[in-house]
Amino acid sequence: MSDFENLYREIILDHYRSPRNRGELPEPAKKVEGFNPLCGDEVVVFLEVTDGVLSNIKISGHGCSISQSSASLMSAAVKGKPIDQVREKIATFKQLMMGHEKKLTNEDEQPKIDVRALGELAALQGVVKFPVRIKCATLSWNTLSQGLDELSL
């Protein structure tokens, strides 16, 4: 598979064409916005937390296939999960995206990522071959993380 085909895997295009958990949640759900000033991408994440569980998540905004599919995949991966598992997913995903930089410095520092634990999210690992697109992929994750921070979770 070429780097290009690896970037635009069918699963990514599927999430781009039919995004999961698309929409908004009414108050008192938490609303967080994220921007990528470079390309004008915008993501809005709505969160509902019940008894330590991310009981509902909705995503709105606009952007490229990488940012939109990453947001969709993220929503499917974290919905209904306890907050500590959500935090873990965020950390693992960001490690996946950092793979590129680490490789430049020292092979030994390559973080050990359990790709199987990522499930469908692993489809996004092709992004690391295209450094300028990493920000597209991490936009929704950073926004979710910021939302949890603001909720002190």
Partner 1 sequence: MASGDDVTSFDARLVRQDIPLLHRIVNGHPITYLDSGATSLTPRPVIEAMSRYYEQHHANVHRAVYVTAEEATATYEGARLAVGGLFNAQNASEEVVFTKNATESFNLLAKSWGRANLKSGDAVVLTQMEHHANIVPWFQLRDEIDIDVRFIRVDDEYRLDLSNLDALLKGAKLLSVTGMSNVLGTINPLRALADAAHNNGALIAVDAAQSIAHGPFDVQALDVDFIAFSAHKMLGPTGIGIFWTREEILQSMPPFLGGGGMIADVRMDGYTPANGPTRFEAGTPPIAEAAGLNAAVLYLQSLGMDNIAKHEADLTADALARLGDEFGDVIRVIGPGTTLNRGGVISLDVQGVHPHDVAQVLDQFGVCVRPGHHCAKPLMKRFDLAATVRASFGPYSLDEDTSVLLEALAHSVKVFA
Q: Is 111 in the site for partner 1 (CB under 8 A)?
A: no
Residues touching partner 1: how many (CB under 8 A)? 18
Q: Is 130 in the site for partner 1 (CB under 8 A)?
A: yes
Q: Is 133 in the site for partner 1 (CB under 8 A)?
A: yes
Q: Is 41 in the site for partner 1 (CB under 8 A)?
A: yes
Show Cβ contacts of residue 120 under 8 Å, excluding neighbours closer than 6 positions. 11, 73, 76, 77
The whole-angstrom separation of Cα 43 and Cα 35 is 7
Q: Is 12 in the site for partner 1 (CB under 8 A)?
A: no
Q: Is 53 in the site for partner 1 (CB under 8 A)?
A: no
Structural tokens at position 76: 């499917």
Question: Could you give phi then psi for residue 30, rounded to 5 degrees?
Answer: -75, 135
Among 6, 55, 56, 65, binds partner 1 (CB under 8 A): 65
